């Protein structure tokens, strides 16, 4: 007998009929002899409806009251799913974040989980009860309702799985698992059977939106095995877990891309200590996340400093940089929003040489110019002209043998 | 400086615009130098929407989960009203039943309040904060969410007012106050300035639906002054309070009627001890509330036993009585749904003679036959043919001087 934690997102519980489907799936897992704890999101559309009410009331709703408001979405779902299971003859019991309790810090609307009490849930499991937990919510030390931010139900699920030392945390979604790349872009993309936490973190941060990053960080920290799978079929999905030897035999696990960044260059900067700080400190203070940073070798005591920021922050970043430029003696500022970042990811890179080179050659063969490069232990990212995004992803997918995953190596 | 508790029902907070109106009224009360605690219901229609979801899921939802579901309605309102007050520059803070906490028994969906902790609320009031409390909800000793049943927000408001020893509990509604009778039936009906708890309880139990009965019982027990008034104007409404001398000078305070009862007669019953028990015990066990009971004097050792039950329970009651009739040697069972109960109510009856007689004569003058009579210290009720209801109410309203309240006595 295993302890299975399952998480169903908003689209999986979007209607009464879909909640019935989820109940049947939960019941089957229970009938198979498992203890089952289910974490659910708000019904699809419900959170948006609540946010629209808040927007109607005032421009800048207080975050404390915002959390009181939006946390009702999950509360509705846990009650309906529990009722449904009960009507099918099962013992089921709903838990709000405040009832378990899921303790968080008091950073409303983006709170972080500090601890989860497993006492009541364990007692109920012992008595053969299926537990339904409201995702996305918790309480702070003063009993205020908090929420974890959009997608927080994934994190709730992994945290509950960690607290209960569950055998697996199944995250149900509307896709079959994690793919070697975006299947809408590359029809040859295939489902990955197993992927390490580190690879999944890179995939997620590069725009693969299957799992929320914080939930993967949590899973990594507490060694929770995540099984990403579809709520619409019974096929096995992708296991996100601790790296194993098998994973290392694969050169590249996936190709990710991100079209949401823009490139900013500060040109002809005197190559002196302290210059970078004068650029990046005000950007940080303005809450702008800088991703890649490249500084070329200096010629005649001058250098170019190039970095990427989220496209949505590009205007704000330009204004800050243009103000700072004269004070550091820079010759000018340039920017380009028509870029994209294409990345290859794989723990196999650690033990295989020549992978970056293969990437550069593959892009070069198609005449795609590489504007920026950044690397980590398990990732190589190249910034290219955005019009080549699809082409680059496709040729890289083929070059690293992902079009037919059984032939890898 | 006074401590004012205000309660706004579902129609008063039915839209974002109406919530803004409520916020302005709350703010004005605060600006006038009062401490303010506000109790709100779910936005009109919201509870029905949630109940419909439960009905869609299953036929007999568990009451525990039902409470988890429907309590979200008030939670949405407290967040929106708090946000609105904050955007107007006021300190406001919402409280769920579980946060105060409002402790209840565990009788889900009709729980009774056991205690209310005033500590946190008092601290917040001291710091100049307007408190917004979710009506209708509480928690039991195990931390389960409970609700008080429909209309329970009135009871929440009175209970909070009692716990805080508030100066007044203002119940805002869509009418101007409590009337001498139904103004839709008698245009001459006038608003009552002051009414005693006892009279209000009789009015409420007889179908005047301005206040929930339990809230009046609570107010009576803890001596909370209730001010029933309209949320759409600034006119003073009706004070529901402890009986005073002024009230006793009025013969009759109001005329109530109830068309929701049916009459059942058990005919030719042997006049022996234990017969009544054989009829009323099974009715009680079936959860049927019997209101008036009349037993005529016996002729030839036989008597007729007549009683009223809610019309909705009439069929069920008949089945039970028809089964019991042969076992007690009754000659037959008759029933009539075309009846109504008309009542005169007033604490003045205690000290004035001849009031019942005036009632009987007034009805008789119009040719209205009285089928049953029951009296209490402050009430006389007559069951009549339902087609005469409006006529009876009108002539009684005139006969007891209520058409022009200034001329009473």
**A231 in Cβ contact with A292 (< 8 Å):** no
Task: Say what the pLDDT of residue B352 is.
Answer: 85
- By C-alpha distance, the chain A residue nearest B56 is A16
Angstrom distance (rounded) from CA B176 to CA B191: 7
- The pLDDT of residue A208 is 67
The answer to whether B79 contacts A54, with C-beta atoms less than 8 Å apart, is yes
Q: Which pTM value belongs to this model?
A: 0.85
Say what the pLDDT of residue A174 is.
Answer: 82
Nearest to A135 by CA among A107, A165, A167, A171: A171
- What is the arithmetic mean of pLDDT over B269-285? 88
pLDDT at B406 over 80: no
A69–chain B nearest CA distance, Å: 5
Given this model, what pLDDT does residue B261 score? Answer: 93
Q: What is the pLDDT of residue B273?
A: 82
CATH number of the domain residue B121 falls in = 3.40.1160.10
The answer to whether the Cβ–Cβ distance between A78 and B68 falls below 8 Å is: yes
In a domain, B286, yes or no: no
Answer whether residue B61 is part of any domain.
yes
Say whether residue B60 is in contact with chain A using an 8 A CB cutoff: yes
What is the count of residue pairs from A and B with beta carbons less than 8 Å apart? 113
Question: Which positions in chain A touch B20 (Cβ < 8 Å)?
Answer: 57
Fill in the DSSP letter of residue A373.
E
User: Which residue(s) pair with B265 in the sheet?
Assistant: B306, B334
Q: Is A89 on the interface with B (CB under 8 A)?
A: no
Touching check for A156 and chain B: CB below 8 Å? no
Residue A378 lies in a domain: no
Residue B369 lies inside a defined structural domain of this protein: no
Cβ distance of A16 and B57 shorter than 8 Å: yes
| Cβ-defined contact of A83 to B75 (cutoff 8 Å) | no
Mean pLDDT of B153-175: 95
CB A23 within 8 A of CB A88: yes
Mutate which: B59, B64, B69, vs A, most A CBs within 10 A: B69
Q: Which two tokens mark A140? A: 């702070």
Q: Do A86 and B65 touch (CB under 8 A)?
A: yes
* Burial of B364: CB neighbours in 10 Å, binned 0-12, 13-18, 19+: exposed
Tell me whether residue A203 is in a domain: no
Q: Does B1 touch chain A (CB under 8 A)?
A: no
* DSSP β-bridge partners for residue B104: B113
> Do the strands B92-95 and B137-139 form a parallel or antiparallel pair, or are they unpaired?
unpaired
**Residue B404 scores a pLDDT above 70:** no
Contact list in A for residue B80 (CB cut-off 8 A) is 53-54, 57, 65, 69
Mutate to test the interface with A, among B80, B93, B120 (most CBs of A within 10 A): B80
**Average pLDDT of adjacent 10-residue blocks, chain A of 409 residues:** 94 95 97 98 95 94 96 98 98 98 95 95 97 97 92 93 97 90 90 94 78 91 95 92 89 92 92 85 91 82 90 94 91 94 93 90 95 91 96 96 61
* Closest chain B residue to the Cα of A94, Cα to Cα: B65
Please provide the DSSP assignment of B254-318 as one string: EEEEE--EEEEEEEEEE--TTHHHHHHHHHHHTTPPP--EEEPPPBTTEEEEEEEEEGGGHHHHH
Cβ atoms A339, A263 nearer than 8 A: yes
Rounded Cα distance between B41 and B80, Å, is 12
Is the Cβ pair A61, B50 closer than 8 Å? no
Q: What is the pLDDT of residue B407?
A: 38
A96 touches chain B (CB under 8 A): yes
- Please state the φ and ψ torsions of residue B107, each to the nearest 5 degrees: -85, 80
Q: How far is A144 from chain B (nearest CA, A)?
A: 8
* Strand pairing category for A261-270 and A332-336: antiparallel
Consecutive H or E run containing B383:
strand B379-385
Residue contact A79–B99, C-beta within 8 A = no
Q: Please answer yes or no on whether B60 and A145 come within 8 Å at the CB atom.
A: no
Distance from CA of A7 to the nearest CA of B (A): 19
What pLDDT was estimated at residue A404?
65
- Closest CA–CA distance from residue B99 to any residue of chain A (Å): 7
Q: Residue A352's pLDDT is what?
A: 85
Q: What is the pLDDT of residues A27-74, one digit of tens each?
A: 999 999 999 999 999 999 999 999 999 999 998 999 999 999 999 999
> Does the pLDDT value for residue B312 go beyond 60?
yes
Q: Choose the mutation target among B58, B84, B131 for the interface with A, i.e. most A CBs under 10 Å.
A: B58
Tell me the residue range of the domain where B161 lies.
3-173
Q: Rounded to an integer, what distance in angstroms lies between the CA atom of residue A76 and that of residue A49?
A: 13
What are residue A170's DSSP bridge partners?
A6, A227
CA A225 – CA A33 distance, rounded (Å): 19
List the single residue in B69, B78, B83 with the smallest CB-CB distance to A80: B69
Whether the pLDDT of residue B65 is over 50: the answer is yes
Q: What pLDDT score was predicted for residue A68? A: 98
Q: Please state, in angstroms and rounded to a whole number, the distance separating the CA atoms of residues A287 and B61.
A: 48
Q: How crowded is the C-beta side of B127, counted as CA atoms within 13 Å? A: 10
Q: Could you give the CA distance from residue A342 to residue A362 in angstroms, rounded to a whole number? A: 12
CA gap B350, A198 in Å, rounded: 84
Q: What is the pLDDT of residue A347?
A: 92
Q: Is the peptide bond before A101 cis (omega within 30 degrees of 0)?
A: yes
Decide if B154 is inside a domain.
Answer: yes
Any A CB within 8 A of B142 CB: no
Nearest CA in chain A to B142: A99
Count: domains in chain B: 1
Minimum mean pLDDT among A294-298, B85-89, B213-217, B251-255: which range?
A294-298
A347 within some domain? no
Q: Tell me if A213 is assigned to some domain.
A: no
Residue A26 near residue A189, CB atoms below 8 Å: no
H runs (alpha helix) in A58-196: 63-70, 72-87, 119-126, 152-164
């Amino acid at each position: 007998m295993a302890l299975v934690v399952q998480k169903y997102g908003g689209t999986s519980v979007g209607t009464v009929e879909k909640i019935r489907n989820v109940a049947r799936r939960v019941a089957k897992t229970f009938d198979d002899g498992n203890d089952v704890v289910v974490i659910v999101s708000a019904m699809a559309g419900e959170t948006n409806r609540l946010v629209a009410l808040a927007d109607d009331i005032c421009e800048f709703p207080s975050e404390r009251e915002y959390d009181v408001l939006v946390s009702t979405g999950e509360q509705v779902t846990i009650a309906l799913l529990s009722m449904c299971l009960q009507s099918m003859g099962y013992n089921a019991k709903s838990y709000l974040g405040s009832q378990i309790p899921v303790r968080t810090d008091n950073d409303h609307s983006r709170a972080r989980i500090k601890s989860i009490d497993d006492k009541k849930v364990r007692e109920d499991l012992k008595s053969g009860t299926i537990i339904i937990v409201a995702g996305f919510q918790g309480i702070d030390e003063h009993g205020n309702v908090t929420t974890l931010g959009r997608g927080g139900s994934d994190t709730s699920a992994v945290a509950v799985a960690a607290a209960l030392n569950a055998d697996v945390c199944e995250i149900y979604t509307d896709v079959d698992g994690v793919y070697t790349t975006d299947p809408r872009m590359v029809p040859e993309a295939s489902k990955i059977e197993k992927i390490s936490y580190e690879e999944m973190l890179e995939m997620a941060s590069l725009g693969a939106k299957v799992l929320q990053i914080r939930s993967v960080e949590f899973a990594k920290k507490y060694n929770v095995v995540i099984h990403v799978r579809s709520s619409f079929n019974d096929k096995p999905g992708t296991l996100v877990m601790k790296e194993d030897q098998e994973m290392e035999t694969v050169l590249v696990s996936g190709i990710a891309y991100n079209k949401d960044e823009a490139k900013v260059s500060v040109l002809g900067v005197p190559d002196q200590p302290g210059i970078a700080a004068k650029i990046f400190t005000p950007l940080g203070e303005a809450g702008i996340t800088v991703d890649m940073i490249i500084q070329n070798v200096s010629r005649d005591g001058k250098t170019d400093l190039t970095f990427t920021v989220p496209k949505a922050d590009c205007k704000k970043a330009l204004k800050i940089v243009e103000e700072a430029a004269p004070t550091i003696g820079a010759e000018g500022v340039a920017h380009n929003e028509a870029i994209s970042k294409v990345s290859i990811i794989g723990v196999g890179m650690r033990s295989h040489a020549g992978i970056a080179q293969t990437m550069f050659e593959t892009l070069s063969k198609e005449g795609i110019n590489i504007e920026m490069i950044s690397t980590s232990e398990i990732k190589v990212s190249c910034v290219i002209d955005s019009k080549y995004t699809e082409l680059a992803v496709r040729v890289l997918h083929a070059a690293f043998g992902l079009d037919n995953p059984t032939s890898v190596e």
